[in-house]
Structure 1
Amino acid sequence: MAEGLSRRGHDVHVVTYHLGEDPPDATFEIHRIARIPTYSKTSAGPSYQKLAVLDPLLAFELRRLLRVHRFDVIHAHHFEGLLVADLARSKRAPPIVFDAHTLLESELPYYGLGLPRGVKRALGRRLDRWFPGRAEHVIAVTDDIRSRLIESGAAAAESVSVIPNGVESDVFAAPRPPRLRNGQPRRLIFTGNLAPYQGIDFMLDAFRVLRQQRDDVRLTIATEDSFTPYEQTAIDMGIRSFIDVHEVDFSRVPELLGEAEIALNPRVDCDGLPQKLLNYMAAGRPVVSFAGSAKHLTDGRHGTVVEDRDVEGFARAIDDLLSDSAWAHGLGTAGRTMVRNELSWEATAARVEALYHRVV
């Protein structure tokens, strides 16, 4: 998003945490908070230290920049971005555009925080209703999010626009039909974090079922997270020796996707748009996905959509694609064409730019 907007001639500043490295060819300015030695968590989700220490530091840094620069808009990414923007701005600060990628009612229960699941869901529901009103306008990445925000009274219909995420299509090589060799395993892939909401348990169970039907498949998991929480489950299922876990950052994901035949999206509860799904499609990989997170994925056109939590159906869909490589390749090619034509970051940046002109 930042690159897309800067390429359109805008002066973009990104205020973020101390973690990570600045891209060497960035076309926008990056401002990081001071390094916090006691915080190195890069996995998804909130923590008490993040809320009590890191987010206030972000707010201080944003407030400093607001005194130095004359910004036209604050683009707040996700709920923590909105919290930071709201804490930092003064009465004369520019309008806030809140970029809502999910709803807390559905996501917050999956994180620890030492609270019962029901309490976290109720807290998330309350925050979903109160928080968006702190912004002048809301970008919802899906129609589902927009509808729920309007129905709950969190935002007026005219204050919520749907603009989906984009994808960096150019980093993914054009797909080629798989060359199958005797003795070579058929490779499946999952990429992304291993947070509980991702449905990793469902995926492992489906892989177990698939291994009972055919012994030529392996599963690649490309993630920055540790697989430790799932090690014993995979061992108990008898599938651990057929899983290759690569703890890598995004730079290795295109290569690993290029080595796989089918990409897996086992998440069942998702109001937003899983970025991995767009990456899969940009890489030209046919996707097997549960229905709850199959945004922009048309069953039988870009992949296969399976009823939520139907592990047997998930395994069967993978087997069907492996059994017809030409069909699978056609689905992947169609998905790649769709995201390149409709969901590039350039197209997303143009839509966001038009929204800014309406808000400012």
Structure 2
Amino acid sequence: MKPRVGVVVAELGIPSEVWILRQCLEFQEVEPVLLYWKMAENAVEIPGGLETRQFGTPFAPPASLWRRASRRLGFASAVLPDEAQRRDIRHMIAKAGLDAVLCHFAWSGLPVSAALGGSVPVVWQVHGRDVSTRMQDPAYRRAVAKALPTVDHLVTVGTFQRDLLAPLGLTERSSVIPCGAPLAVFARGPLPVHEAGRPFRFVSVGRLSPEKGVLESLEAFERIAPSRPDIELVFIGDGPLRATLQAAAARSEVRDRVHLLGLQPPPVVASTLRDGHAFLQHSRQVDGWVEGFGVTLTEAGASGLPLVASRLGGIVDQVRHGENGFLFEPGDVATQAELMARLADDEALRRQMGANARRVAETFDSRLMTGRLEQVLLEAIARGPVRR
């Protein structure tokens, strides 16, 4: 009988976090049980074979004068669960018969670790916003620092998260394991070829928000498009900047070559990448946010697209400048435009970088990454929980 592992997320079904479902489906040696507090409004379809359970109490305990005052003073207790939430978590873990718990994002790990108190092995897998933006909150930062020594194993998806957490008491029980992307889905076809008479297509996939630099990517495209009538730009995703991006595209002199496809299911994302020729990701540091790893970069690389991305956070773990793509400094639209032009004008360079991008992506195949994570979970179960 396989060990049962609870996979905990605050909000289930967020389209940009489809890698959580992939991970659960790829587990071979453990049986995953998805635990969550809230279902996303535009949730992706949850595969029928996955067991799901919803906590009965809210993710955030009710606000109170004491909690607000404690947060202003930077007390860790201000962001930790109240007794009702702790009981709910313990009841759910016991009822589900779990042998270990995998918490995605530090904000999910905090209440679970506080509630279980060492009775069940707890593994955290941290990503981006949870160890960048949120760490500017002194109470949250202190709570993470207090919890880290009690975590049975800490998994970071990039080296920058590991370096950020090191001063807070990172233990030897830690690993860098990116989420990756399924090569079986994205590397199925031949490397893309730019055929005469067809547009050269730049593709950007991700949340339409300031930190993803979508307006900057549009500006870079506008700089090179007038002299290259055969190029176009495709955005896939949704977010707070969608209306702004739509308005900017509508005002553009090259508006007929800018396409906003909105949210799309994974098969459409995969087919759009296969029809593309180069991938753009202009991630920026906004309000302390830093890109965690960039799963869409892995997906695009597996599809055979060279990567044009900003030098930020976990991006540098997979984009090798001059080999599988180009890196530029966040906010440097002029350099981004120059690099885009190089790829659009040099088919041989683009094809070589695309081939290299697929080879690099192979090292981040989600099945390999999930296998490594699974071994961490099995070792934590065999070792038993960290004693407080």
Give the TM-score of the pair, scaled to structure 1.
0.79
Would the aligned equivalents of 2:55 and 2:89 in 1 still touch at CA under 8 Å? no
Name the structure 1 match of 2:195.
180
Would the aligned equivalents of 1:105 and 1:122 in 2 still touch at CA under 8 Å? no
Residues 311-352 of structure 1: CA deviation (Å, up to 9, x unaligned): 111111111111122321221122212322x21222112222
2:258 to 243, 256, 263: 243
Q: How far off its partner does 1:290 sit?
A: 1.1
Name the structure 2 match of 1:65.
92
Are 1:99 and 2:130 matched, yes or no?
no
Instruction: Give the secondary-structure state (helix, strand or coil) at the position aligned to 2:248.
Output: helix
Q: Distance in 2 between matches of 1:181 and 1:61?
A: 61
1:74-93 paired onto structure 2 within 5 Å: 74-86=101-113, 89-91=115-117, 93=119
**Percentage of matched positions with identical amino acids:** 19
Instruction: Give the secondary-structure state (helix, strand or coil) at the position aligned to 2:233.
Output: strand
Residues 218-248 of structure 1: CA deviation (Å, up to 9, x unaligned): 1101114472132333345544432111122
Q: How far off its partner does 1:213 sit?
A: 3.7
Would the aligned equivalents of 1:190 and 1:220 in 2 still touch at CA under 8 Å? yes
Moved more, 314-323 or 160-169: 160-169
Name the structure 2 match of 1:199.
213
2:97 maps to a residue whose letter is R
Q: How far off its partner does 1:147 sit?
A: 1.5
Instruction: Give the secondary-structure state (helix, strand or coil) at the position aligned to 1:139.
Output: strand
Are 1:334 and 2:356 matched, yes or no?
yes
Name the structure 1 match of 2:347.
325
Name the structure 2 match of 1:350.
371
How many positions carry a matched residue from both structures?
328
Moved more, 200-209 or 77-86: 77-86
2:294 to 274, 282, 301: 274
Gap regions ≥5 residues in structure 2: 1-22, 63-80
Moved more, 250-259 or 10-19: 10-19
Gap regions ≥5 residues in structure 1: 35-48, 110-119
Instruction: Give the secondary-structure state (helix, strand or coil) at the position aligned to 2:162.
Output: helix
Name the structure 1 match of 2:271.
255
Q: Distance in 2 between matches of 1:148 and 1:78?
A: 14
Instruction: Give the secondary-structure state (helix, strand or coil) at the position aligned to 1:316.
Output: helix
Q: In 2 relative to 1, CA 234–31 (structure 1 residues): closer, same or farther, beyond 3 Å?
A: same
Moved more, 15-24 or 250-259: 15-24
Q: In 2 relative to 1, CA 207–30 (structure 1 residues): closer, same or farther, beyond 3 Å?
A: same
Name the structure 2 match of 1:312.
334
Would the aligned equivalents of 1:15 and 1:62 in 2 still touch at CA under 8 Å? no
2:275 maps to a residue whose letter is E
Would the aligned equivalents of 1:262 and 1:285 in 2 still touch at CA under 8 Å? yes
1:346 maps to a residue whose letter is R
1:189 to 188, 198, 203: 203
Q: How far off its partner does 1:287 sit?
A: 0.9
Name the structure 1 match of 2:246.
231
Q: Distance in 2 between matches of 1:314 and 1:90?
A: 48
Q: How far off its partner does 1:13 sit?
A: 0.6
Would the aligned equivalents of 1:18 and 1:33 in 2 still touch at CA under 8 Å? no
Q: In 2 relative to 1, CA 213–51 (structure 1 residues): closer, same or farther, beyond 3 Å?
A: farther
Instruction: Give the secondary-structure state (helix, strand or coil) at the position aligned to 1:158.
Output: coil
Q: Give the aligned CA root-mean-square deviation in angstroms.
A: 3.1
Q: How far off its partner does 1:189 sit?
A: 0.5
Q: Distance in 2 between matches of 1:93 and 1:214?
A: 62
Are 1:137 and 2:153 matched, yes or no?
yes
1:209-228 paired onto structure 2 within 5 Å: 209-225=223-239, 227-228=242-243
Would the aligned equivalents of 2:278 and 2:308 in 1 still touch at CA under 8 Å? yes
Q: In 2 relative to 1, CA 179–90 (structure 1 residues): closer, same or farther, beyond 3 Å?
A: closer
1:102 maps to a residue whose letter is G
Q: Distance in 1 between matches of 2:94 and 2:336?
A: 53
2:172 maps to a residue whose letter is E
Would the aligned equivalents of 2:127 and 2:157 in 1 still touch at CA under 8 Å? yes
Would the aligned equivalents of 1:206 and 1:314 in 2 still touch at CA under 8 Å? yes
Instruction: Give the secondary-structure state (helix, strand or coil) at the position aligned to 1:294.
Output: helix
Would the aligned equivalents of 1:167 and 1:344 in 2 still touch at CA under 8 Å? yes
Q: Distance in 2 between matches of 1:123 and 1:189?
A: 39
Instruction: Give the secondary-structure state (helix, strand or coil) at the position aligned to 2:204.
Output: strand
Would the aligned equivalents of 1:163 and 1:352 in 2 still touch at CA under 8 Å? yes
2:280 maps to a residue whose letter is L
